[in-house]
Chain A
Amino acid sequence: MASVNGSPDTPLSGRFARLPEWARPRESERRGLGSLRLAETTILILFGLLLAVATVNDVARQTRVNHRLIADLHTWRVASGHNYHNLTVYQDLQGHTTRDTVCGNVSPGAPKERTQVCVTLVGATVKGERDITGGFYLPPLSENEPARRYACFGAAVAAGSCASGGPPAGSPPAPPVRLGLP
């Protein structure tokens, strides 16, 4: 990182004069630092390439995730028979698996305002859809928390996903969603 001003070296007197030349402070950079500058530039370019490759890889990774999420949303719509757009996808961010849970209202309304049916999806995307392995229901205005889940079906039963006893009073019917590809 050589200075480009090319100003002449200025001898420093006083406080730092007793230091060896290589340790003395300078007003401007000494000429002939080309090799240091080359080394720095080389490191910068290599690091820049690493960042560029990492960025492209991450965009590709995120694009794959988005394709998976698109399949998740499509699967929920086909399985539920509702073409709603305000759905919530919960990814397995702690286990880092591709198991996603998609929740949406069972009847028209603002997001999470009605009873929600949630399905858990796993596996590869086949013709824009993924396998439903299980799911559960949530009361209106609820987040996806074990204490709020009820009417578990499929793998969610074995996993003990429903901590809640039964549906809240006045809930609409909660039939299990058909498992597998819809």
Chain B
Amino acid sequence: MAGGVGSTNGARRLTAVAAGALALVLLAATLEIVIDGAAGHSPLIPKAPQIAGWLSSIGEHLGFRVFLIALVAYTGAYAGMLALARRLGSRFAIALTVALHAVVFVGPILLSTDVFSYIAYARMGVVHGVNPYLHGPQSIVGDPVYHYVGKDWKTVATAYGPLYTLISYPLGFLGVVGALWGMKLMALLASAGTLVLTWRCARTRELDPKAAFVAVGLNPLYVIYGVGGAHNDLLMVFLMMAGVSLTFARRDAYAGAAVMGAALVKATGIALLPFMLLSRRKLAPLIGAAVAGLACALAAYLAFGIHGVDVVAALNRDAAFVSTDSFPTEIAHLFGKPGVFPVDHTLLKAALVAIVAHLMWRTWRGYDWVAASGWTLLAISVTSTWLLAWYTLWSLPLAAVSRDRRLLVAVLAVQALFIAHQTAPLWAPVS
């Protein structure tokens, strides 16, 4: 008996030491990226107003090598934390997540110029009276935010939903720096909301809430790319999780409205709705979604005209983009092709339709609709020829609260492959 107690205490101590060491790795890796990023002049940090100047004298310019070593170390520590998640203290897990979010929040924008597109679209509307659904940021060349917009996006009209565009409009009045902090705060709050809902949904489903919380809140792509880049995907994910949570609470109309809200931030959020309807087999979520959709469509029509309602055109345009990180491009390279062709887009769409049809049938026959939604979002990101790190976050919280544990394994595996694909500069640094 005494030996049993002793060995239990020993195991606890070992867990505490391991968790502490892993937490230090997570914090050190994040600090390294943020502090070196604040020094500026890095290919990984977009050109931006100096918002983290007080950090700039501490670090050195963030190069690919240091960034990738930090990212790989972070990912390794995250894997360790996942293994220990059930034995971690709740306060420890929450405190660590808050600390990582805080470090990223006070630092510079990481790895993406998207936030400047958000700000440009807002300023186009409220400062310059230009419709962001008709024109790209090129129409406000004289605006201070224009120089920070990614060069590929200067001529591109917004593809984001009208709800997001309307939410972002007030930030346009704050100037570039004020809007940037506003966007960062919105991403931080959306992330916090997602984590609270992930915890609550996991508990409702009698899953370990700590494990679900750790899987999302410490995730490297979530923290460094998602929160670090202040991406609006976090807001979409938050509204999706609100839909899930409200469904669990049997507030179906509000759940439908929340999912429609997610879709009106970013259209992919709509993926949850058919599965929710098939699972609940009630009119309430449909009515909630329809009311929310109509209300927002009316507001969008008044604010942006018919173009604010036509998200399909924007989706079709973006679906044709190709990124080097997309899995279809990698598979094309594997088979000796230089890249994806239009016929591949058709094949990928057909595959996606088949997957969604299978999942809908399974949901009709009793499969977990949350998991089916997660698989669909994962399938969208894997079959997309335009894959960015934050697209792999769409299905992460759903996977964390799904009854099908294969989904979480699949999401994490896809993320691991995404990170592995970034590592080429480690083996052959070009300088």
Contacts and interface: CB of A to CB of B under 8 A. Distances in A.
Contacts of B375: 1
Given A44-B410, A51-B414, A29 B333 contact: no
B405 A25 contact: no
Contact of B333 (A2, A28, A58, A73): A58
B430 interface: yes
Contact of B367 (A2, A48, A51, A53): A2
Given A58-B330, A58-B333, A66 B428 contact: yes
A51 B428 contact: no
Interface in B348-384: 359, 362, 364-368, 371-372, 375, 382
A67 B428 contact: yes
Contacts of A26: 364-366
A102 B127 CA distance: 42
Interface stretch (B109-117, B217-225, B419-427): B419-427
Contacts of A3: 366-368, 403-404
B343 interface: no
B428 A70 contact: yes
Nearest to A64: B428
B330 A4 contact: no
B326 to A, nearest CB: 10
A41 interface: yes
A19 to B, nearest CB: 10
A50 B331 contact: yes
Contacts of B430: 66, 69-70, 73
A66 B413 CA distance: 26
A63 B428 contact: yes
B40 to A, nearest CB: 15
Given A51-B330, A70-B430, A25 B364 contact: yes
Given A29-B366, A44-B406, A55 B421 contact: yes
Contacts of B333: 54, 57-58, 61
Given A1-B375, A66-B425, A58 B334 contact: yes
B342 interface: no
Nearest to A58: B330
B362 A1 contact: yes
Contact of B334 (A5, A53, A70): A53
Interface string B241-279: 000000000000000000000000000000000000010
B5 to A, nearest CB: 34
Interface in B325-344: 327, 329-331, 333-334, 338
Contacts of A69: 430
B420 A59 contact: yes
Contact of A54 (B334, B367, B368): B334
A3 B404 CA distance: 6
A62 interface: yes
A143 to B, nearest CB: 12
Contact of A63 (B338, B406, B420, B427): B427
B325 to A, nearest CB: 9
A55 B404 contact: no
A24 B417 CA distance: 39
B406 A5 contact: no
- Which interface residue of B338, B414, B424, B431 has the most chain A CB atoms within 10 A? B424
B281 interface: yes
A86 to B, nearest CB: 10
A110 to B, nearest CB: 12
A82 interface: no
B365 A51 contact: no
A11 to B, nearest CB: 13
Contacts of B3: none
A53 B417 CA distance: 10
B4 interface: no
A127 interface: no
A62 B424 contact: yes
B429 interface: yes
Nearest to B404: A1
A30 B365 CA distance: 8
A51 B382 contact: yes
B366 A96 contact: no
A58 B403 contact: no
Interface of B: 278, 281, 327, 329-331, 333-334, 338, 359, 362, 364-368, 371-372, 375, 382, 403-406, 410, 413-414, 417, 420-421, 423-425, 427-431
- What are the nearest 6 A-B pairs in CB distance? A66-B428, A26-B366, A62-B424, A29-B366, A54-B330, A96-B338
21 contacts: A3-B366, A3-B403, A4-B405, A25-B281, A25-B366, A26-B364, A41-B406, A44-B406, A51-B327, A54-B330, A54-B331, A58-B330, A59-B423, A59-B427, A61-B333, A64-B428, A67-B428, A70-B428, A70-B431, A73-B430, A73-B431
Interface of A: 1-5, 25-30, 41, 44, 48, 50-59, 61-64, 66-67, 69-70, 73, 85, 96
